[in-house]
Structures are given as structure tokens and as C-alpha cells.
Amino acid sequence: MSKLLLGVLLCVIACRPDTTTATAPYIIEKSVISKDAGIASAHPLASKIGLEIMRKGGNAVDAAIATQFALAVCYPGAGNIGGGGFMVLRNADGTTDALDFREMAPAAAHRDMYLDSTGNVIEGLSINGHLAAGVPGSVDGMVKAFSKYSKLGDWAALIQPSIELASKGLILTEREANGLNRTRDRFIELNTRTPRFVKENGTWQMGDTFKQPELANVLQEIRDHKEAGFYEGWVADSITSEMQRGGGLITKEDLANYTAIWRTPLIGEYKGHEIISMPPPSSGGIALQQLLSAVESFPLSDYGFHSIEAVHLMIEAERRAFADRATHIGDMDYYPVPIAQLMDDGYNKERMANFNPDKATNSDDILAGEFADHESEQTTHFSIIDKDGNAVAVTTTINTGYGSKVVVGGAGFLLNNEMDDFSAKPGVPNFFGLIGNEANSIAPGKRMLSSMTPSIVTKDGELKLVVGTPGGSTIITSVFQTIINVVDFKMGANDAVQSCRFHHQWVPDMVMLEKDCFDEGTQSALKSLGHEINQRDGYIGAVEAILVLPDGRLDIAADKRGDDSAMGY
């Protein structure tokens, strides 16, 4: 089985805990129209906490911070304080910003740390256990976002609801119960003290109350001491003791040195829309713009939604963008990513010069572009718009489902396995089947390349869409397809989000089709064009989107593929 297939399969099993419709003990709205404010996140309790903050006068950033902490409690497979992420925001006055709170490699990390003595990648070392963890960025990210943009100005108020949720406990959904049960053996294997994620005497059931008192204590430290409550003091001590116990690399200095970074968002253009997205260390913003530019001159709406012409064209654009990703994109503080060249409209349109509407291109015939001068499945996304029109898109992750499965002893939170997003060895695929090169090699302090694509779209200077999703490499193609659904196929948020998705990432050379989606006719037409088809045994992504309607109301959509919940007022 190829790495990608394995990754996809594992992500189906672990990243989105279940693929069936859960009879969750919550009323979960997937599609809501609201007048003033809206939120879509992976869990109804997190959406509720974020919405309440806005009702109390907080802005979209305040709501985002509260939602991030809430997800760390109620959605432990992906929500986190032990991971990292990206925030893209657009203020009501039109100014934009981007916050990089991606994890970084510990100082003791080195290029060949996952290779054996013969130079081969040691299977699983960057995925499970202590060595897989990068230095977490989420807490510093939230503090930086608060300092720069909070309207409420009350840090404790943003965290208190999550403290209560952790200490009083939350009612498990069917999906979460299944996800925890499926990871039970790994939790036991990788932790000396059995973590609370493992139910004593039996398995979790939907409706069980799940309490996390250690996590509540950590959140109290963060409430009382902001970033110092995590990167210093007893929480930092717990992280480093955990590292020593399990042979991990993160030290006190690594924690003290971590800083989230404000970056300039990438701003591109598509059919009169402005596309605001995340720069490196995410590949998302660059790749999204490449995809949109590549298809822009083609009459997609004439072709029709999910017509063979449209799907084939978009697959071929995806193939080309992922070739560039593998070669050119990494942490730009360590590698000269040719951002302007990769974002160049002419370059991306030229990349389609060898596109053949009647035949799939062979990935072997697609190389990454060459530039003379270099300038210098589990994740979760939430989209928020407040009553003043401030918009925030956050994608945050501990990488695969429940991250490294290592729970910090005495502190009750999971550490990420984000180190797997580096290229452990040139050309060797990671969990998501992505290959990389020098641009994304491991180096001390470097941030691993991401596919996360929190994005905001405007039209004629007005806010139009806030969008993002989890899904590893499929994040880029899911955000791309959602934007195309809105702009070209004129869908509302709900249709744009719930529609079937497909994915191509250059290598391996195959199209992944979401389960139960594309009929036999479409599949055989794609095959006859020369595409290898892989019918995925699960869903692709979990998109959360808010579309601003022409009358100013918010069309909020949460993905049907999970417990994702849309709310507004």
C-alpha cells in the first residue's frame, strides 16, 4: 500500500474519528443564516463559547482565542494547546494580518534525525512518540493575537469557559468516543501514566462525561500568567520531564525561545476577488493562488459543476501546484522561497500551456518551475465574523489524530507530531504522501512546512468569504474547490461546503475521489482521460465557511462530515 493510501486510511480512521452520521448528544446546526455575527467550528461547545464571547462584546479575535482553548478541551484529536497553527484576519477597516504560531523544531533536532545508520527513514519515528513533537506554538499565538487585537481586553474571560468545561467535563459525541477508543492502545503504549483519554474499565460511549482536571489546571496557569503559564513554571517543567522520560528533544530553552510571528498575508486575485491567505511556513496561500490563477482563463461555469471538463482541469492544476510545493516551499526564515515567482499570474497560466483537455498529464512530465533568482488527518479550522465585520480564519493542529499520542504527564494535554511535516529525507513521502526536499529539511528552530490554508476572500473591497479546513495535503485542494464553488458555481455556503471533493497532489500520480460521491460515469470518463482513480474510503476535509450575502447577512456553514457546528446571531 502506498504511503499516501496508508496515510489517508489512517487519517480516515484517526483524524476524523468516524465517517458515519453521529447521533451526537447535541443539537448540531450545519447551516445558519445570521444577521450580525457567525462562527463555524468543529464542535458545538466550541462554537457556543466563541459566540458567547462576541455577545459579551468581544470581537472576532477574542472569539477565536476562546474557541481555540475550547477546542483543546472538547476536540482533543485536533484542538490543542500542545500544537500550533495559523490565523489570517481581516479587520473591518480592510487591514489584514497573519499570525504564524506553527511549531518549531527543537534546538537539538537535526536533518537526519529520523534516518537509521543506512540512511533510511525509520518508520513511525516522526509520527508516534516523543521525538515527533515540535515546540508548541498555540499558547504564544493566542497571547500575541490578544495583545494586538483584543477588544474585550479580558484574557481570563476568554479562557474561563474552557477551564470549566475541562473540570466539570463534557458529554462525548459518538465520533469522539470512537476516536478515543481507537487510539486507546497507542495512549497506553506511549504514556507511563495512563492518560484520561483512556477510559478505565471499558470503552467510551456516546453520552459519557469526560473530565480533564489536569488540563483544567494548565488552563488556569495560562489564564493567570498568559504565555509564562505554559512556557515557564510547572507546566514547562512537566513538558521537559515528559521529554526526558520518553527520549524527546524539547528543552526549557526551546520553550523559552518559542515565539509566534506576525507575518504579511499573501494577497492574490481571482476573477475580481481578493484572496487573502497564509504565507510560509504554510504552503497553503501560495498553492491556493497557483491553483486559482491556473484555472482562471477557463470557462469553469460553462463546463458545469463536477463536469468532466471542470474536474479534469482542476486536477491538472492541482498536479502542477503540488510539484512546486515539493521543491520550492519551506520556512522562509531558513530557505529562500521564491514567493513572488510562484504567485505570479503569468507563471501559473504558463504552467497550463501543456494542459491537454483530452488527456491526463503524466506527473513524471511535470517538474517544479525553475527560477533564476530566489528571493529571499488531525487538524481543525474555525471561521468567525463579528458584528463589526472583522473576520478571522484559524486552522490549528497537532498533525495526525491525537498528535504524537504523548500526553504530558500531570498536565493532561497531547503533544503534536508535527515533525512529520518536515521532509525526513528528500523524496520520501510523509504521512500525507507529500514529498519534499532541501526547502523543507529539518533544522534547529525551523518551522515545518504546512498545507493549512486559512483564507479570506473579498470582492470590491467588501468581505465575502471566510474559509478553511483540516485534511493534510487535501486542505489546499478543498479550500480551492470551495472558493470555486462560490465564485464560479455561485453556490451558497452550505452547498459549497457539503459538495463532494477530489484531490491530486502530483505524487503519487492518482486522483483521490471522496467516498459515495462521483458516479461510475464520471469515474470511467476520468479513467478514459488517463487518470488513475483512487476511491477514498472516507471523507475529504471538514470545511467551515462563512459567506457574506449581498444584503449583509451571514451564510454560515459547518461541514456535515463531522460534529462541526454553525452558529450565529
Q: Enumerate binding residues for ligand DON (CB under 6 A).
A: 11, 15, 377-379, 397, 399-400, 418, 421, 450-452, 470-472, 475
| Nearest Cα residue to 92 out of 552, 566, 429 | 552
DSSP 478-525: HHHHHHHHHHTS---HHHHHHS--EE--SSS--EEE-TTTS-HHHHHH
The answer to whether 46 touches 70, Cβ cutoff 8 Å, is yes
**Residue 383 or 451 having the CB closest to ligand DON:** 451
Q: How far is the CB of 520 from ligand DON (least distance, A)?
A: 28
Q: How far is the CB of 472 from ligand DON (least distance, A)?
A: 4
| Nearest Cα residue to 58 out of 151, 148, 162 | 151
Task: Specify the amino acid at residue 386.
Answer: D
Backbone φ, ψ for residue 370 (5° rounding): -115, 135
The answer to whether 519 touches 513, Cβ cutoff 8 Å, is no
C-alpha 539/C-alpha 449 separation (Å) is 23
Residue 120: all three cell numbers together: 533510511
**Residue 34 or 474 having the CB closest to ligand DON:** 474
Q: How far is the CB of 451 from ligand DON (least distance, A)?
A: 4
Q: How far is the CB of 307 from ligand DON (least distance, A)?
A: 28
**Residue 363 or 399 having the CB closest to ligand DON:** 399
Residue 102: all three cell numbers together: 506553527
Q: How far is the CB of 234 from ligand DON (least distance, A)?
A: 28
The answer to whether 44 touches 563, Cβ cutoff 8 Å, is yes
| Nearest Cα residue to 282 out of 485, 98, 499 | 98
**Residue 62 or 559 having the CB closest to ligand DON:** 559
**Inter-helix orientation angle 60-74/213-225, to 10°:** 150
Q: Is 568 helix (H, G, I), strand (E, B) or coil?
A: strand
Is 379 known to be catalytic?
yes
Backbone φ, ψ for residue 17 (5° rounding): -50, -30
Q: How far is the CB of 280 from ligand DON (least distance, A)?
A: 12
What H or E segment, with its residue span, contains residue 66? helix 60-74
* Edge-to-edge strand list for the sheet holding 379-385: 261-263, 96-101, 84-90, 391-397, 379-385, 38-41, 565-568
Q: How far is the CB of 389 from ligand DON (least distance, A)?
A: 28
Q: How far is the CB of 64 from ligand DON (least distance, A)?
A: 18
**Residue 77 or 161 having the CB closest to ligand DON:** 77
C-alpha 536/C-alpha 538 separation (Å) is 5
Q: Name the residue whose CB lies closest to ligand DON.
A: 377
Task: Specify the amino acid at residue 64.
Answer: A
Backbone φ, ψ for residue 179 (5° rounding): -60, -45
Cis, peptide link before residue 76, omega less than 30° from 0? no
**Residue 54 or 398 having the CB closest to ligand DON:** 398
Task: Specify the amino acid at residue 458.
Answer: T
CA 134 to each of CA 275, 294, 444, 452, 478: distance values in angstroms, whole numbers, following the listed order: 30, 34, 10, 16, 26
Q: How many CB atoms lie within 10 A of CB 230?
A: 27
C-alpha 422/C-alpha 470 separation (Å) is 18
Backbone φ, ψ for residue 259 (5° rounding): -145, 135
Task: Specify the amino acid at residue 388.
Answer: D
Alpha carbons within 13 angstroms on the beta-carbon side of residue 160 total: 6
Q: How far is the CB of 537 from ligand DON (least distance, A)?
A: 15
DSSP 8-class letter at 31? E
Q: How far is the CB of 543 from ligand DON (least distance, A)?
A: 12
**Residue 352 or 419 having the CB closest to ligand DON:** 419
**Residue 11 or 556 having the CB closest to ligand DON:** 11
Burial of 428-456, coded b for 16+ CB within 10 Å and e otherwise, reads: ebbbbbbbbbebbbbbebbbbbbbbbbbb
**Residue 212 or 379 having the CB closest to ligand DON:** 379
Q: How far is the CB of 563 from ligand DON (least distance, A)?
A: 14
Active-site residue, selected from the candidate residues 173, 327, 379, 395: 379
Residue 38: all three cell numbers together: 457567525
Torsion of CA 434, 436, 440, 444, to 10 degrees: 90
The residues carrying an active-site annotation are 379
